[in-house]
C-alpha cells in the first residue's frame, strides 16, 4: 500500500510549513486528512502551536502545493523519496510518539519522512539500536562508539544515529566498517546533511543505508531542531545507548525519549574524572542499563524488547496514554466490523458530538480507521488492546 499522489504532495507541503512535533497539526491532520488540513492551514486560523510558523510562511509563499511538487522532484532527482504513514515502508514504531507527546512537550510523530539511500526504513530499523552521544567526545568515547557500531553491524543489527561529529560519526563508521547499513537521522534537509565536514561520511551512509529527515530539502539545521529530531532517533530503534554525554547534553533528551517510549536505555561507563562521562553516569545512577559491549547491548534489547512492534508490557501502548475520555471511546470501537459513529457513541455512553471530536483523534493516533460503513480498530489498535489487557510473555 502506498499514499496517493495528493496525500503525498500535501504531506510534503506540511513538512515545509510546520516544525515537527505539533499537537495542533497532528489533530488537524487526524480530523481532516492531510489534503484538507493543508488547505485549512492556508485559509483558516492555524492551530495555536504552529500559528507563528504558518503565518510567517503564508506571507512569503504563494502556493504550497507547487513548492511541494518541486521538493518531491528535487529529492527524486537525488535518488531520494518521501515516505508517509500511508506507505508500507512507514515504520509504525515512530507512531508510538503520539503516546508520549503532551501539550507541554509536543513530540508527535513526523507527518512524513524524507529519505535518501537504498535501504527500506522499516526493514532496517526492525533490528536496530541507536548509538548517541556528545559531539565533543573523547578518544575513549569515539573508540567505544566505533567498537559498538562494528559489533552491532557484525551481528546483523542496524546502527541508528544523528550523523554528528564525535560519538555519532564514530558509531556510523564502525557499522560501515563491518559492512552494515546505517541510518542517520538529520536535523536538516537530506540534500544538505550537517555537518559539512561529514560530507564523505554521509555519501557513504546513503550508498548502503539511509539519510532520514523530517525537514524538506534545503532546510538548514537549527539548534532546536537537533533536540526535536532526537525523539525520532529514540523512536526508530529497539533501544538507545548513550556512549558519552556531558552533564547537560542533547543525548540526554534522546535518553529521556527512549525511557518515555518504554524502550531499553543503556549507557556506557567511563572514567569518573571525565566530564564526558558525567551525563552517562547520571543516567546509570537513575536506572539506565550499564553496557560494556555490543553483546551486552543485544542482551538488553533482546531481553526487554524482544519485538518492539509489539510492546512487551502494557504500560506504554498508544492506548494507555490516551486519557480516560479517549480510552472510553476506543473501547467502544469494534475490532472487525466497522460501525457508524452514532453506534459507537451509544456504546461508549457519550454524546455524538463528543464522538465526532474523539474518533478523528484516534484515527490520527493510528488506532482507529474509517471505512465507508463507519469506524473500526486498526491492526495497531487491536494489538494495543491485546497488549493492554493481557501480559505478553517475554520471548
Site of interaction with a copy of itself (CB under 8 A):
140, 143-144, 268-273, 277-278, 281, 284-285, 289-290, 292-293, 296
Q: How far is the CB of 105 from a copy of itself (least distance, A)?
A: 28
Residue 205, preceding peptide bond in cis (omega within 30° of 0): no
- Which lies closer to a copy of itself via its Cβ, residue 112 or residue 245? 245
Please state, in angstroms and as integers, the Cα–Cα distance from residue 345 to each residue in 245, 251, 356, 373, 375, following that order.
Answer: 49, 44, 9, 15, 11
- Which lies closer to a copy of itself via its Cβ, residue 185 or residue 243? 243
State the Cα–Cα distance between residues 374 and 279, nearest whole angstrom: 50
- Which lies closer to a copy of itself via its Cβ, residue 123 or residue 293? 293
Q: How far is the CB of 152 from a copy of itself (least distance, A)?
A: 15
- Which lies closer to a copy of itself via its Cβ, residue 285 or residue 353? 285
Q: How far is the CB of 284 from a copy of itself (least distance, A)?
A: 5
Q: How far is the CB of 359 from a copy of itself (least distance, A)?
A: 46
- Which lies closer to a copy of itself via its Cβ, residue 124 or residue 283? 283
- Which lies closer to a copy of itself via its Cβ, residue 91 or residue 146? 146
In degrees, rounded to 5, the angle at the alpha carbon of residue 159 between the alpha carbons of residues 156 and 165 is 150
Q: How far is the CB of 276 from a copy of itself (least distance, A)?
A: 12
Q: How far is the CB of 137 from a copy of itself (least distance, A)?
A: 14
- Which lies closer to a copy of itself via its Cβ, residue 20 or residue 264? 264
In angstroms and rounded to an integer, the radius of gyration of the C-alpha atoms of the chain is: 21
What are the grid coordinates assigned to 140, written together? 575513549
State the Cα–Cα distance between residues 191 and 206, nearest whole angstrom: 11
Q: How far is the CB of 294 from a copy of itself (least distance, A)?
A: 11
Q: How far is the CB of 278 from a copy of itself (least distance, A)?
A: 8
φ and ψ at 370, to 5 degrees? -100, 140
What are the grid coordinates assigned to 253, written together? 533528551
- Which lies closer to a copy of itself via its Cβ, residue 122 or residue 300? 300
Amino acid at each position: 500500500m502506498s499514499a496517493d499522489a495528493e496525500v503525498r504532495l500535501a504531506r510534503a507541503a506540511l513538512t515545509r510549513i510546520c516544525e515537527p512535533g505539533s499537537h495542533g497539526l497532528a489533530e488537524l491532520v487526524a480530523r481532516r486528512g492531510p489534503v484538507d488540513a493543508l488547505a485549512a492551514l492556508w485559509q483558516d486560523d492555524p492551530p495555536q502551536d504552529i500559528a507563528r510558523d504558518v503565518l510567517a510562511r503564508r506571507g512569503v509563499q504563494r502556493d504550497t502545493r507547487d513548492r511541494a511538487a518541486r521538493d518531491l522532484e528535487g529529492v527524486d532527482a537525488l535518488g531520494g523519496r518521501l515516505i508517509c504513514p500511508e506507505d508500507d515502508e512507514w515504520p509504525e514504531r515512530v507512531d508510538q510518539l503520539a503516546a508520549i507527546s503532551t501539550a507541554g512537550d509536543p513530540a508527535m510523530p513526523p507527518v512524513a519522512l524524507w529519505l535518501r539511500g537504498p535501504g527500506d526504513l522499516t526493514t532496517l530499523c526492525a533490528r536496530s539500536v541507536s548509538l548517541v552521544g556528545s559531539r565533543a567526545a573523547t578518544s575513549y568515547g569515539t573508540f567505544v562508539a566505533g567498537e559498538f557500531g562494528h559489533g552491532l553491524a557484525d551481528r546483523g543489527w542496524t546502527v541508528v544515529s544523528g550523523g554528528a561529529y564525535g560519538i555519532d560519526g564514530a558509531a556510523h563508521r564502525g557499522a560501515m566498517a563491518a559492512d552494515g547499513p546505517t541510518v542517520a537521522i538529520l536535523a536538516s534537509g537530506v540534500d544538505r546533511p550537517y555537518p559539512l565536514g561529514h560530507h564523505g561520511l554521509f555519501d557513504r551512509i546513503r550508498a548502503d543505508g539511509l539519510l532520514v529527515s523530517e525537514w524538506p530539502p534545503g532546510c538548514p539545521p537549527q539548534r532546536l531542531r537537533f533536540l526535536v529530531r532526537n525523539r525520532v532517533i529514540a523512536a526508530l530503534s529497539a533501544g538507545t545507548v548513550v556512549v558519552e554525554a556531558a552533564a547537560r547534553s542533547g543525548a540526554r533528551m534522546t535518553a529521556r525519549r527512549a525511557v518515555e517510549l518504554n524502550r531499553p536505555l543503556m549507557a556506557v561507563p567511563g572514567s569518573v574524572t571525565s566530564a564526558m562521562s558525567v551525563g552517562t553516569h547520571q543516567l546509570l545512577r537513575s536506572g539506565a542499563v550499564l553496557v560494556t559491549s555490543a553483546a551486552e547491548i543485544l542482551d538488553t534489547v533482546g531481553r526487554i524488547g524482544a519485538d518492539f512492534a509489539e510492546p512487551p508490557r502494557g504500560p506504554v501502548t498508544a492506548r494507555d496514554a490516551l486519557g480516560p475520555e479517549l480510552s472510553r471511546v476506543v473501547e467502544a470501537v469494534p475490532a472487525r466490523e466497522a460501525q457508524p459513529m452514532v453506534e459507537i457513541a451509544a456504546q461508549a455512553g457519550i454524546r455524538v458530538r463528543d464522538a465526532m471530536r474523539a474518533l478523528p483523534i484516534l484515527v490520527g493516533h493510528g488506532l482507529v480507521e474509517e471505512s465507508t460503513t463507519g469506524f473500526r480498530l486498526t491492526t495497531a489498535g487491536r494489538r494495543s488492546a491485546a497488549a493492554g489487557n493481557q501480559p505478553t510473555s517475554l520471548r
